[in-house]
Amino acid sequence: MLRASVLAVYFHARSLILVLMIAQQNPFAYNIDALNAKVYDDPTRVSGERSSYFGFSVALYTSAEESLLLVGAPRANSSELPFVIEPGTVFKCPMNGVCREWMIDKTGNGLHPRERLINQIKDNAWIGATIAVENKTEPRVVITSKNDIGIYNFGMGQIGFSLHMNSLRYDVNVMLGAPGVYNWKGDAILTNALINEPFSRTIIPSPAREQQIHSYNYLGYAVTAGTYFKERDVWYASSAPKSANMYGKVLVFAFPPKTNQRMFIKTILYGQQYGEYFGAALTSCDVNNDRRHELIIGAPQWSRDMDEGLVYIFTGRRNVLYL
C-alpha cells in the first residue's frame, strides 16, 4: 500500500515537472509561421483618437492578377467623406504593400443622388463590420435596405450583421442576417444574382408568421449554408442564440419562393447549456471527406470551470443532423 502511494506521488511529480518544462518554452503552432508574419497597421490611425476597430472583420481575396487582404474598420472616418462621422470603411491590403482605403460609396449624408426619396444617414454606419469573399465572381456591393427608419419593425433591423455568400454554377447567393427586425425576433434575407450581374432578386421571409422565433431571440445573429444531407442540395442555417430560454437554437431551412412567406424549416438544433450563446458563430465545411458539409456551431460562453467555450460539429445522415 505504501509502495503504491509512493509511485503515485513519483508519477505526479514527473507530470508536474513536464508541465513546468513545457511552460518555459515558447509555444509554436505547426501550421502558423509566427516568425515571418506580415503585420498590417491602420494607415489612418491618429494618436489620441479612439480606435477605428481596424481588423474587426477580415477576408482574403485571390485572383489571377493579385491577392488582397480585405480589412474592415467599422468605426473609421473616411478620407472621402469628411462631413460624415465614423461611417466605417474597408481597406485593401496587398500581400507586399500597404493598406489603402477602398471607396465603396462616395455619397454622404442627405438625399441619395439617384433615389431622391431616400435620405441617407451614414453617421456611425459601421461599414466594414462584415466582409465575405467569393473568388469566383466579380466584386459587387449589396445595398442592404430601403426601409424607412420610422417603421418600427425594420428601423433597427441591423441587416448585414452577419453574411454568407455561396456561388452555384450560374448564379451567386448572398444571405444576410438581420437580428433586429420585428422587435429583435430577427430574420435571414436572401439576395440572388447571375454570375457577374447586379443583384436583382431578394427574398425576405415573414418573421411575424414564424412561430419558432420570438421577440429578442436574435435570429440572423450568424448565418451559413451547406450541403448537409445530399451533394448539391443546399440548405441554409441561421442562429438565434437567445431563444429556447437562453439555451439558443439554430434553424436549418429553405427560403420560401416569395417575400413575406414562411421559411421551410428542415430541422432545429438546440444548445445544451443555459447561457452558452449557442450559435454565436456558424460555418460549414466537409470535415470527414464524405462530400457533404458538416454544420459547425460556436458557443463561446459554454462553461465547465471558466467560460472555456465549445464548438459543436453536426453531421448529416438520412436527413437528420447528428452531434
pLDDT of residue 20: 45
- How far apart (Å, rounded) are the C-alpha atoms in residues 4 and 107? 78
Compute the C-alpha angle 269/275/279, nearest 5°: 40
Per the prediction, the chain carries an average pLDDT of: 80
The domain of 136 spans 51-147
Task: Identify whether 192 is part of a domain.
Answer: no
Task: Identify whether 123 is part of a domain.
Answer: yes
Task: Identify whether 112 is part of a domain.
Answer: yes
Task: Identify whether 268 is part of a domain.
Answer: no
Task: Identify whether 87 is part of a domain.
Answer: yes
Res 98 pLDDT > 80:
yes
Number of domains comprising the chain: 1
Task: Identify whether 175 is part of a domain.
Answer: no
Structure confidence at residue 165 as a pLDDT band (50, 70, 90): confident
Res 10 pLDDT > 70:
no
Q: Quick one: which of 296, 243, 251 has its CA closest to 269?
A: 251
Task: Identify whether 85 is part of a domain.
Answer: yes
pLDDT of residue 24: 52
pLDDT digits (tens, 9 = 90+) for 229-269: 988 889 999 999 999 999 999 999 999 988 888 899 999 99
Res 144 pLDDT > 70:
no
Q: What is the mean pLDDT of residues 152-164?
A: 81
Q: What is the mean pLDDT of residues 23-28?
A: 55
Of 284 and 2, more confident: 284
Handedness of CA 75, 61, 200, 154 (dihedral sign): negative
pLDDT of residue 240: 94
pLDDT digits (tens, 9 = 90+) for 46-59: 777 788 899 998 98
* pTM of the predicted model over 0.85: no
Q: In the 3-class helix/strand/coil scheme, how is 65-81 assigned residue by residue?
A: CCEEEEEEECCCCCCCC
**In the chain, % of residues over pLDDT 70:** 80
